[in-house]
């Protein structure tokens, strides 16, 4: 007994509590967040989860850190008595306990338990607190507890929430106002303000999480590394409570309708306004849309192919289904009729690639008649432009009489939407602007009033009917749907008499029947053109504009143009001149089907005419000099003739590739020194045939001089892809990086950078510029950044954007930064990049910004500005990909970036080289056109030399292979299959180790003879990779050339022109 008491008294409970308390404070600080309104809140769930673990400092007598706090707060003062509360008794009172620990009164937890003041009673008002807690020594803690409790009881977002929270903290981390725009006329005024909000995952209830799974995302750079949920928040001032109640009730009635934007709940609370005053607001929480229909029409290029047009009208069919779904509602077996009353493009939201109806703030519900007669109701809401004729007098303010309208008033409004949609399909976004001007001109001429409605004096506006005739006349021959939709709109929707219009159900049924008829032909577009269109397509904007209600994707930042180029917001519709239209970039296309994984990726780049070519020139086949083949890689330069026959590209003679295996042999001999005169240290090497295969001759010395010259005033940044897909290649990537770093030490005077694609990479792995660097520093960084095995999906764009932004920001501030070469080690998989063209669009924006910064303006009449710089020549930023693995999608993605970006008017600043390829090309491929075009031959695999003495020795005869231990060390296995040279598929650069028989007793290289081409059929690409191509040769397919009239041969009308009869109404310029 005495021995036990001795142990109890010897244990230092005060020290143990102090340690536990300090660790608790650390956890509390790390799980603290600040809401957008400025209030602090704690993620209590995370605090409890972490305290229920045992830290390294926790004594073994305690179950976990929470148990240690529970016991030691009592035992530090009463070590001879058992604790009054066990860990199990804290259930339901943990938040209370945390608050008491924070304010220094943990011993009062018993008093709170005795009075039933549990966690679910938080926040506790002051009157209750003073009534229930009568401990004398707690009087000094009332005010402290009252204030501290708010951080520990933030509001939980739940599905169907209906609460008044007043002073409680709303856990909203981001709150961005959405201001819907129409053309250049600025934000629309509404009865409520609309916001995009972000809420931590832990503060979203499980039911709401399941319902809104698509709203979950992770913000790059968030120090908490936690997931968030995005919602829309519609906020009403207290004076607009009637509007709030009507809309909340309507959403409540329509909450189960699939075609409506999902209603999640409402709450009432206090917020600080812009003047610092606490004001009461009513808030409706909704599903957040990507954009509204009007914004989609204004920002996306229209559908072109039959598949795209069909997909677009199927989306419009979804809107008619949504309206029909709310046409009649049942509650408790009783049928009600519904009027939406405000259908317009801005109230049609795109959510997860489908359209939904939104904003039923003007909606009305009425008990249905017993008979089938069309029912009328007094519905006053709506927008003047899209309102039915029977509502015109009231909406125009010409009559105070509230209109009695049938449900077909919504059908009229939907007909107006379809009219605009048809204009968009046929004429594009500019056509929609012209259509608006046409209606305005027609109404001004007829009534002298400024309006853009679709009717005049109770009848359909004649210009609308004539405009539809024009659309039918100029629609593409491949468009089998738009004309029929317009017929239905004219005959059954935009009809003056309400009882002659279709009902919402009839519109839905018509669409369903029409879309099921006349299926499109399967082969209406050649696969070659389909692939090229998909490669050109810009499906994603990197950051969506908030004023249109689009979700932000925070993976990257789109580089901004210089301030001098930023246009002010216009107060008029932005008609564009022909020059402005031609100068602007290609925009995304609406409803282009997602490109699948083609089994035969295209091997040809798109052939574009040169500036000197006339519109009547014909494309010719690629041809190249027969001497190229007959000389068997002789010493002279070969020539490649362009498709237009007016450009001769000089191709340097091929040479033997210098692989990283050879570079690392010298590294093994010389160690991690900072400089060598040459890659190969001027050593000779004897081939298996007994003859000198190569030596460091004048060509190699020339390449070393080029290397030193190019990087003398250029920064080098290494970006390593450490997504899960790179895990099998990691040892090989580490091996390659060590060689590259070793060779580039000393070239970059202020040191190199190393960064990684995974945002969760330990910060210690990132290396900043420093004059004191060596290879071992980078090797250790690669160990820290090793990919995880838990399916880490990364994308390259965020970190690449950060690197490039460093340069562009410096240019904008006139600091004249050093040029950059970014060397990216990757397999090209980038599984976190859900939309394949994300990087395309970013790089195109970057190149355009670089042109602006360097005044690289289009040349007119061969006159150059004195300040003009050709970024294709000065190469301020270049990107060199080093490719690992044989993933086909990754290969094709990198090939596309290397070969096809020039088709978009981008300078050739990107190159790709396989990881077992030429080291000189890894450094100079993106900088020097001649080295980029030069063919290199890979020699057979040979034993990796590990001792200095063996470097200069001759290579052994017989089978050529590395030792198994070396294969494991570098995690790089060469294919040992024999492939015969095919006249159709073999390219000099494709002669990788996979073309040799490493098990042959001869131990010799297969003949490097390039067979003569088949005339006019085998184009010689300016670049190619050692990736097997099994598909037959393809001949370049010409695009539709413009005729003398300026029309596209593949189109039946000049896109974007207004009908001749309307041109006297306005001046498009």
pLDDT along the chain (1069 residues), means of 10: 50 92 96 92 95 93 93 87 83 95 92 93 93 83 94 96 90 88 52 91 95 86 81 93 88 82 92 81 93 86 88 92 88 85 90 85 80 76 86 75 86 96 93 92 89 90 95 90 96 95 95 80 54 48 35 35 34 37 47 44 34 36 32 36 42 75 68 44 33 45 79 90 93 93 80 90 90 89 88 82 85 80 94 77 82 60 51 89 92 90 86 91 88 68 35 32 35 34 33 36 33 34 38 33 36 36 35
Q: Delimit the domains of the chain by residue range.
A: 2-152, 161-288, 291-551+572-602+1034-1069, 654-673+714-858+868-949
CATH 3.30.200.20 is right for the domain spanning 161-288: yes
Q: 591: phi > 0 → left, psi -120 to 50 → alpha, else beta; which?
A: left
Q: Cα 972–976–982 angle (5° rounding)?
A: 120
| Partners of 284 in the β-ladder | 234, 266
| Partners of 648 in the β-ladder | 641
pLDDT (0 to 100) of residue 182: 54
Question: What gap in Å lies between CA 312 and CA 310, rounded to an integer?
Answer: 5
pLDDT (0 to 100) of residue 772: 83
Phi, psi torsion values for 418, nearest 5 degrees:
-65, -35
pLDDT (0 to 100) of residue 471: 95
CATH number listed for the domain at residues 654-673+714-858+868-949: 3.40.50.410
pLDDT in tens, 503-538: 999 999 999 999 888 655 544 556 655 555 555 544
Strands 655-656 and 936-937: parallel
Beta strands in 430-495, from DSSP E residues, in sequence order: 455-456, 459-460
Cβ burial of 391 (10 Å; 0-12, 13-18, 19+) is: buried
pLDDT (0 to 100) of residue 273: 76
User: 422 and 468 in contact (C-beta within 8 Å)?
Assistant: yes
pLDDT (0 to 100) of residue 46: 95
pLDDT (0 to 100) of residue 178: 85
Question: What gap in Å lies between CA 109 and CA 705, rounded to an integer?
Answer: 77
Q: Which residues of 758-786 are buried (b: 16+ CB within 10 A; e: fewer)?
A: bbebeeebebeeeeebebeebeebbeebb
Closest CA to 191 of 234, 162, 251, 232: 234
CB neighbours of residue 902 within 10 Å: 17
Predicted TM-score (pTM) of this structure: 0.52
What is the DSSP code string of 252-303?
HHHTT-TTBPPEEEEEEEEEE-TTS-EEEEEEEEEPPPSEEHHHHHHHSBPP
Thinking of the domain 291-551+572-602+1034-1069, which architecture would CATH place it in? Answer: Orthogonal Bundle (1.10)
User: 409 and 363 in contact (C-beta within 8 Å)?
Assistant: no
DSSP 181: B
pLDDT (0 to 100) of residue 525: 55
pLDDT (0 to 100) of residue 394: 75
User: 460 and 450 in contact (C-beta within 8 Å)?
Assistant: no
pLDDT (0 to 100) of residue 947: 32
Question: What gap in Å lies between CA 745 and CA 760, rounded to an integer?
Answer: 28
CB neighbours of residue 930 within 10 Å: 12
pLDDT (0 to 100) of residue 668: 63
Taking the chain, what is the end-to-end CA distance rounded to the nearest angstrom?
Answer: 102
| Partners of 280 in the β-ladder | 270
């Amino acid at each position: 007994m005495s021995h036990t008491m001795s142990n109890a008294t010897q244990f230092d409970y005060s020290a143990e509590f102090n340690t536990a308390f300090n660790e608790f404070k650390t956890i509390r600080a790390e799980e603290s967040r600040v809401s957008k309104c400025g209030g602090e809140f704690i993620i209590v769930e995370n605090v409890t989860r972490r305290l229920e673990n045992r830290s390294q400092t926790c004594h073994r007598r305690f179950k976990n850190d929470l148990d240690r706090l529970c016991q030691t707060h009592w035992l530090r003062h009463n070590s001879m008595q058992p604790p009054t509360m066990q860990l199990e008794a804290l259930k339901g009172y943990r938040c209370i306990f945390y608050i008491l620990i924070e304010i220094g009164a943990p011993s009062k937890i018993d008093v709170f338990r005795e009075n039933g003041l549990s966690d679910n009673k938080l926040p506790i008002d002051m009157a209750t607190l003073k009534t229930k807690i009568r401990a004398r020594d707690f009087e000094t803690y009332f005010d402290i507890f009252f204030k501290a409790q708010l951080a520990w009881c933030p509001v939980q977002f739940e599905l169907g929430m209906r609460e008044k929270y007043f002073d409680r903290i709303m856990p909203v981390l981001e709150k961005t106002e959405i201001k819907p725009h129409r053309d250049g006329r600025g934000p629309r005024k509404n009865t409520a303000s609309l916001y995009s909000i972000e809420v931590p995952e832990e503060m979203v209830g499980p039911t709401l999480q399941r319902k809104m799974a698509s709203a979950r995302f992770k913000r790059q750079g968030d120090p908490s590394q936690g997931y968030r949920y995005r919602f829309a928040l519609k906020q009403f001032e207290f004076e607009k409570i009637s509007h709030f109640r009507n809309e909340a009730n309507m959403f409540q009635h329509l909450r189960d309708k699939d075609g409506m934007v999902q209603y999640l709940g409402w709450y009432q609370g206090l917020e600080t306004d812009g003047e610092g005053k606490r004001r009461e607001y009513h808030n409706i929480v909704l599903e957040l849309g990507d954009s509204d229909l009007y914004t989609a029409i204004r920002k996306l290029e229209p559908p072109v192919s039959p598949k795209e047009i069909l997909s677009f009208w199927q989306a419009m069919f979804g809107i008619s289904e949504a309206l029909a779904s709310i046409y009649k509602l049942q509650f408790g077996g009783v049928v009600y009729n519904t009027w939406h009353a405000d259908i317009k493009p801005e109230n049609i939201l795109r959510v997860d690639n489908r359209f939904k109806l939104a904003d039923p703030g003007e909606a009305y519900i009425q008990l249905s008649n017993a008979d089938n007669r069309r029912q009328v109701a007094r519905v006053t809401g709506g927008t003047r432009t899209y309102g039915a004729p029977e509502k015109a007098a009231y909406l125009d303010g010409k009559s105070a009489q509230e209109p009695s309208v049938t449900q077909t008033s919504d059908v009229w409004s939907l007909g107006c939407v379809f009219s605009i949609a048809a204009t968009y399909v046929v004429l594009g976004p500019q056509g929609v602007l012209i259509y608006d001007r046409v209606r305005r001109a027609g109404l001004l001429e007829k009534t002298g009033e400024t309006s853009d409605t679709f009717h005049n004096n109770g009848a359909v506006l004649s210009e609308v009917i004539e405009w539809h005739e024009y659309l039918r006349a100029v629609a593409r021959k491949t468009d089998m749907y738009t004309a029929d939709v317009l017929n239905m709109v004219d005959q059954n929707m935009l009809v003056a008499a309400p009882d002659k219009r279709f009902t919402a159900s009839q519109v839905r049924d018509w669409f369903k029947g029409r879309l099921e008829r006349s299926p499109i032909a399967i082969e209406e577009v050649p696969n070659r053109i389909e692939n090229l269109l998909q490669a050109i397509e810009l499906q994603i904007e990197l950051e969506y504009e908030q004023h249109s209600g689009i979700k932000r994707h925070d993976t990257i930042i789109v580089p901004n143009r210089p301030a001098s180029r930023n246009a002010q917001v216009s107060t008029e519709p932005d008609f564009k001149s022909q020059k402005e239209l031609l100068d602007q970039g290609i925009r995304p296309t609406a409803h282009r089907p997602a490109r699948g994984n083609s089994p035969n990726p295209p091997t040809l780049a798109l052939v574009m005419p040169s500036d000197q070519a006339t519109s009547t020139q014909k494309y010719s086949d690629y041809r190249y000099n027969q001497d190229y083949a007959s000389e068997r890689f002789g010493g002279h330069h070969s020539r490649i003739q362009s498709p237009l026959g007016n450009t001769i590209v000089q191709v340097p003679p091929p040479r033997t590739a210098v692989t990283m295996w050879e570079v690392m042999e010298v590294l093994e001999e010389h160690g991690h020194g900072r400089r060598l005169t040459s890659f190969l240290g001027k050593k000779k090497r004897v081939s298996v045939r007994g003859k000198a295969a190569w030596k460091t001759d004048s060509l190699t010395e020339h390449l070393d001089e080029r290397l030193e010259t190019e990087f003398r005033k250029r920064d080098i940044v290494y970006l390593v892809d450490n997504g899960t897909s790179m895990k099998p290649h990691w040892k090989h990537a580490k091996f390659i990086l060590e060689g590259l770093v070793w060779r580039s030490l000393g070239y970059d005077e202020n040191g190199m950078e190393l960064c990684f694609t995974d945002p969760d990479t330990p910060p210690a792995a990132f290396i900043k510029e420093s004059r004191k660097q060596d290879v071992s520093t980078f090797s250790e960084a690669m160990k820290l950044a090793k990919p995880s095995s838990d399916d880490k999906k990364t994308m390259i764009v965020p970190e690449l954007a950060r690197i490039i932004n460093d340069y562009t920001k410096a240019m904008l501030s006139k600091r004249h930064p050093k040029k950059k070469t970014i060397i990216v080690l990757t397999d090209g998989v980038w599984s976190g990049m859900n939309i394949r063209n994300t990087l395309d669009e970013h790089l195109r924006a970057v190149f355009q910004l670089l042109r602006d910064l360097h005044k690289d303006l289009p040349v007119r009449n061969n006159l150059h500005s004195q300040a003009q710089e050709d970024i294709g020549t000065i190469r301020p930023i270049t990107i060199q990909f080093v490719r690992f693995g044989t993933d086909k999608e990754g290969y094709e993605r990198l090939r596309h970036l290397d070969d096809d970006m020039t088709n978009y008017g981008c300078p050739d600043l990107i190159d790709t080289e396989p990881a077992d390829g030429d080291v000189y090309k890894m450094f100079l491929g993106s900088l020097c056109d001649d080295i980029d075009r030069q063919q290199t031959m890979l020699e057979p695999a040979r034993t990796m030399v590990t001792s200095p003495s063996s470097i200069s020795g001759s290579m052994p005869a017989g089978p050529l292979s590395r030792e198994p231990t070396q294969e494991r060390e570098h995690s790089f296995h060469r294919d040992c299959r024999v492939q015969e040279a095919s006249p159709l598929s073999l390219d000099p650069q494709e002669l990788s180790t996979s073309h040799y028989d490493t098990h042959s007793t001869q131990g010799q290289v297969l003949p490097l003879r390039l067979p003569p081409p088949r005339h006019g059929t085998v184009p010689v690409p300016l670049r190619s990779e050692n990736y097997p191509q099994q598909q037959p040769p393809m001949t370049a397919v010409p695009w539709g050339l413009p005729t003398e009239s300026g029309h596209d041969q593949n189109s039946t009308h000049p896109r974007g022109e207004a009908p001749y009869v309307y041109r006297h109404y306005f001046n498009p310029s």
